[in-house]
Chains A and B, each alone.
Chain A
Amino acid sequence: EPEVTQTPSHQVTQMGQEVILRCVPISNHLYFYWYRQILGQKVEFLVSFYNNEISEKSEIFDDQFSVERPDGSNFTLKIRSTKLEDSAMYFCASSEVGAGVGSPLHFGNGTRLTVT
């Protein structure tokens, strides 16, 4: 069964550094998402992406965050200047059509970001 893959599985970075989290969504999916989960807390929506542009973003997704689909397969999340509170598990997801109209989200295994 096709999978969403994320790399790296764990990223450690110093406060103020830039990080790029990478995702390869399922190939025939059109909608892409980033979520994050701080340890022990709920899964929080960051951003959705369709047709090479952001569809929706949450209050968390401020100017420090950006997303890109640099080629036909990768979907990246960049955090420009990491803060301690950015430490979390970041999940990428994709869906065939929008989940709002009934398509399940398929999640990757996540990247654990630790900011020191």
Chain B
Amino acid sequence: GQQVMQIPQYQHVQEGEDFTTYCNSSTTLSNIQWYKQRPGGHPVFLIQLVKSGEVKKQKRLTFQFGEAKKNSSLHITATQTTDVGTYFCLSAGGTSYGKLTFGQGTILTVHP
């Protein structure tokens, strides 16, 4: 079955430092989605990547989809305390009825 590995599991940064989390799949993905879950909250959709090599930006967040569509990354520039939370990737194999698998998540802590 489809496996999605996400690293690192935890990341502690000082406010202003950069942060990156990576998702790697054992199979080619049709698309990948990224979600953020604040402590005590529910996952909230951030973005979707579809095309090979795609790069998308949302303010300080940069999302990339690998050329082979097997890996993806989320990079935050100059973290702020509001970035605290768990970041998950969600992968789907390409069918409407696919088993949608979250990565393990990266828990980001930002120290002021």
Using a CB–CB cutoff of 8 Å, the interface residues on chain A facing chain B are 31, 33, 35, 42-45, 48, 50, 55-58, 91, 97-102, 104-110
Contact = CB atoms under 8 A, between A and B. Distances in A.
B8 to A, nearest CB: 14
A56 B98 CA distance: 7
22 contacts: A42-B103, A45-B101, A48-B98, A50-B96, A55-B96, A55-B97, A56-B97, A98-B95, A98-B96, A99-B100, A100-B30, A100-B98, A101-B92, A101-B95, A102-B50, A104-B45, A104-B48, A105-B33, A105-B100, A106-B45, A107-B42, A108-B42
Contacts of A91: 42-43
Nearest to A44: B102
A71 to B, nearest CB: 23
Give the interface SS of chain B, mostly helix, strand, loop or mixed. loop
Contacts of A104: 33, 45, 48
Given A91-B42, A98-B92, A105-B90, 10 more contacts: A43-B37, A43-B88, A45-B99, A48-B98, A56-B99, A99-B100, A101-B31, A101-B92, A102-B50, A105-B43
A97 B44 CA distance: 17
Contacts of B28: none
Contacts of B66: none
A43 B98 contact: no
A48 B41 CA distance: 21
Contact of B30 (A101, A108, A109): A101
Interface string B50-72: 10000000000000000000000
Given A42-B104, A91-B42, A99-B92, A48 B48 contact: no
Contacts of A56: 97-100
A43 B86 CA distance: 11
Given A43-B88, A91-B42, A100-B94, A48 B33 contact: no
